[in-house]
A = this chain, B = another copy of it.
Amino acid sequence: MPNDPNPIPGWLECIARSGYRLTAPRRAIVDIMASSDRALEPLQVYDLGRQSCPGLGLVTVYRTLEKLEELGLIQRVHQPNGCHTYWRAACGHEHLLFCTACGRAVHFSGDNITPLIEKVSNQTHFTIQDHWLQLFGLCPQCQQNNL
């Protein structure tokens, strides 16, 4: 399912299979989160969502984002200037690369920090269970705009 051109049916199925109901607000939020090319804050999801689901409430956005995160479909994104955004979750072992100018995000894979983890574990006597790696930069479009 990596780079699925239309992940929305899969997300809806995941929601239903988990025993949650498929409602208009949830469909609207899934549409937005599954297809956005950048990380979004709850208020942005709310504004976008009201275009297709006019009565949508902000509280429902928070609740739905929480559920999508719990189902592993989206993940919270941490940035130097705040940690209030969400983006679709990685498939397998991938990390995030962000454009600091526009928020556009991509996943990448291929980090090999196992030797480093081994070394740090030996030096510190910590058991290391997880790691975060994030790259920050400028996307091609924003490089153009900053010329």
Contacts and interface: CB of A to CB of B under 8 A. Distances in A.
A127 B110 contact: no
B106 A126 contact: yes
A124 B138 CA distance: 10
Chain A interface size, under 10 / 10 to 19 / 20 to 34 / 35 or more: 35 or more
A130 interface: yes
A49 to B, nearest CB: 25
Given A78-B78, A126-B137, 11 more contacts: A97-B128, A100-B129, A111-B113, A121-B137, A126-B138, A127-B138, A128-B135, A128-B136, A128-B137, A130-B135, A130-B136
Closest 8 CB pairs of A and B: A128-B137, A130-B136, A78-B78, A132-B134, A126-B137, A125-B140, A127-B138, A83-B83
Interface of A: 78, 83, 97, 99-100, 106, 108, 110-113, 116-117, 119-121, 123-140, 143
